[in-house]
């Protein structure tokens, strides 16, 4: 069963690669003032944004020269904790392993942008017509969100750690 842990951990670099290439595409195709691609009229667009905060624009308005480095350090610590917990967790916890791998891959995806650029490229825009707009996000943010949701599911479905 230990070998299955390696299989699940492959999800982390897969998320990172998908995030990296979709952000590269977004920088090339969408990085122009006012440029966006309407995917589903009134609900879903692809629109370039630079986020200096964390997921979904949280802390984006905070101004500090140290902010990219503090957020990068938090990301490195988070990935280290996730990896340590991943390898110490029981082998049969498939939902937990998927959750941790998705979360780690997403964190590394945004960490890569933060270190290389000082901001994170976001390009997915979900909205309700012109009434409500969710903050732009990316593949890494999505992986982190799904990973956290799976962590919650794992905690409620299997708090003992005996089923997988």
Q: To 5 degrees, how large is the angle CA 117–CA 23–CA 15?
A: 105
User: Does residue 162 form part of some domain?
Assistant: no
Let me know if 122 is a catalytic residue. Answer: yes
pTM: 0.85
Instruction: Name the catalytic one among 45, 113, 141, 154.
Output: 141
Residue 26 buriedness (CB in 10 A; 0-12 / 13-18 / 19+):
buried
Helices 2-9 and 94-117 meet at what angle, rounded to 10? Answer: 40
User: Does residue 164 form part of some domain?
Assistant: no
User: Does residue 10 form part of some domain?
Assistant: yes
Instruction: Name the catalytic one among 19, 113, 122, 154.
Output: 122
- State which residues form the domain around 153: 2-157
Determine how many CB atoms are found less than 10 A away from the CB of residue 69.
13
Looking at residue 153, what is its pLDDT? 94
What pLDDT digit, counting tens, does each position of 74-132 carry?
Answer: 999 999 999 999 989 988 888 999 999 999 999 999 999 999 998 899 999 999 988 99
User: Does residue 163 form part of some domain?
Assistant: no
* Number of structural domains the chain divides into: 1
Residue 67 pLDDT grade (very low, low, confident, very high; cuts 50, 70, 90): confident
């Amino acid at each position: 069963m230990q070998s299955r842990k390696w299989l699940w951990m492959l999800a982390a670099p897969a998320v990172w690669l998908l995030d990296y290439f979709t952000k590269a595409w977004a920088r090339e195709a969408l990085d122009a003032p006012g440029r966006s691609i309407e995917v589903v009229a009134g609900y879903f667009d692809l629109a370039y944004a630079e986020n200096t905060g964390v997921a979904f624009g949280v802390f984006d308005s905070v101004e500090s020269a140290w902010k990219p480095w503090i957020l990068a350090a938090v990301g490195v610590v988070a990935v280290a904790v996730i990896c340590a917990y991943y390898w110490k967790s029981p082998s049969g916890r498939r939902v937990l392993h998927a959750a941790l791998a998705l979360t780690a891959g997403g964190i590394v995806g945004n960490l890569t942008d933060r270190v290389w650029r000082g901001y994170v490229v976001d390009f997915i825009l979900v909205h309700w017509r012109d009434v409500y707009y969710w903050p732009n996000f990316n593949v890494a943010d999505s992986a982190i969100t799904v990973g956290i949701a799976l962590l919650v599911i794992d905690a409620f479905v299997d708090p003992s750690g005996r089923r997988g």
